Structure 1
Amino acid sequence: MTLTIWVDDWQMQCCGDTFRPGDAVSWQLLEVDPEDYADIVGSDRAAEIDFREEHHDSGEEQPLTPLRVVAVTEVHCRYGVPSGGTAKVLYPVPGSTELVPVVEADGWAKARPHVRFAGYLVTAERAADE
């Protein structure tokens, strides 16, 4: 059974380790509400997200889950001020998502015109403790 895991760009940039398809990783996984990701990745892709990876103290005690990375996709989207919003807070613009399959995730992505890097969608399989 495969899982889809959201990995924030800033979490990787702060203290994540580079990973690629085929790698064994152990991550703290927290359950998510897929709707929280609908504006970033679209409703269909958001419905596929099972967990988010957490590097920092989330207030929840979760054991590390051993995984084998199957695929990594960068997620880029446009950010803007929503109607009635304030110019100080930018939000993902629905429908602006660009998904880019990659062979390595290090927290940084090549700049793309008109969108910003937001994070990764990682397809992984649960692995036996090694």
Structure 2
Amino acid sequence: MTLTIWVDDWQIQCCGENFTPGDVVSWHLLEVDPEDYADLVGSERAAEIDFCEEHHGREGEHAPTRLRVLTISEVHCRYEVPPGSTSNVRHPVPGTTELVQVREADGWAANRPHVDFTGYLVTAERTELSRAPESTDTSG
């Protein structure tokens, strides 16, 4: 079963480890409300997100999940202060998302015109711990 996981850029920048397709990672996954990601990636794509990866705060509540990374897409979008807002807090502008397939996630991305890097959409599959085969040599 393939999972889609949101990984915030700052999580990797702070204390995460780089990963590439094919890597086996051990992540703390939290269930998400897809609507929380609708402005970032659009409603249709947000509905595909199963979990987010969490390094800080609530990760102790769940055992880590071992996953094999299948694909990685950088997510870029434009941020603006909403018209008429009395705050200077910028929010994602719906419909401005750009997804860029990449071969490595390190928390940083090349600048793209008019959009900001915000995180990754990762597809992965659960994997079991691999064990070395037990020796059957009885020659002693």
1:25 aligns to 2:45 (yes or no): no
Corresponding residue for residue 86 of structure 2: 86
Alpha-carbon offset, residue 59 of structure 1: 7.0
Corresponding residue for residue 121 of structure 1: 121
Alpha-carbon offset, residue 33 of structure 1: 0.1
Amino-acid identity (%): 70
Q: Distance in 2 between matches of 1:12 and 1:59?
A: 15
In structure 1, give the amino acid aligned to 2:49.
I
Does the residue aligned with 2:66 lie in a helix, a strand or coil? strand
Q: Distance in 1 between matches of 2:125 and 2:59?
A: 25
Corresponding residue for residue 107 of structure 1: 107
Q: Deviations over 1:32-75 (max 9, x none)?
A: 00000000001111000000000011276011000000000000
Does the residue aligned with 2:28 lie in a helix, a strand or coil? strand
Corresponding residue for residue 74 of structure 2: 74
Q: Distance in 1 between matches of 2:72 and 2:7?
A: 10
Corresponding residue for residue 56 of structure 1: 56
Moved more, 79-88 or 45-54: 79-88
In structure 2, give the amino acid aligned to 1:110.
A
Q: Distance in 2 between matches of 1:129 and 1:85?
A: 50
Structure with higher strand content: 1
Check the 8 A contact 2:28/2:59 in 1, yes or no.
no
Output the TM-score relative to the length of structure 1.
0.96
In structure 2, give the amino acid aligned to 1:43.
S
Q: Deviations over 1:49-102 (max 9, x none)?
A: 000000011276011000000000000000001133234200000000000000
Q: Distance in 2 between matches of 1:49 and 1:83?
A: 29
Q: Distance in 2 between matches of 1:81 and 1:20?
A: 34
Does the residue aligned with 1:39 lie in a helix, a strand or coil? helix
CA RMSD of aligned residues (A): 1.1
Q: Which has the larger radius of gyration?
A: 2
The 1:109/1:59 distance shift into structure 2, 3 A limit, reads closer
In structure 2, give the amino acid aligned to 1:68.
R
Q: Distance in 2 between matches of 1:69 and 1:86?
A: 42
Structure 2 residues not aligned, in runs of 5+: 131-140
Structure 1 residues not aligned, in runs of 5+: none
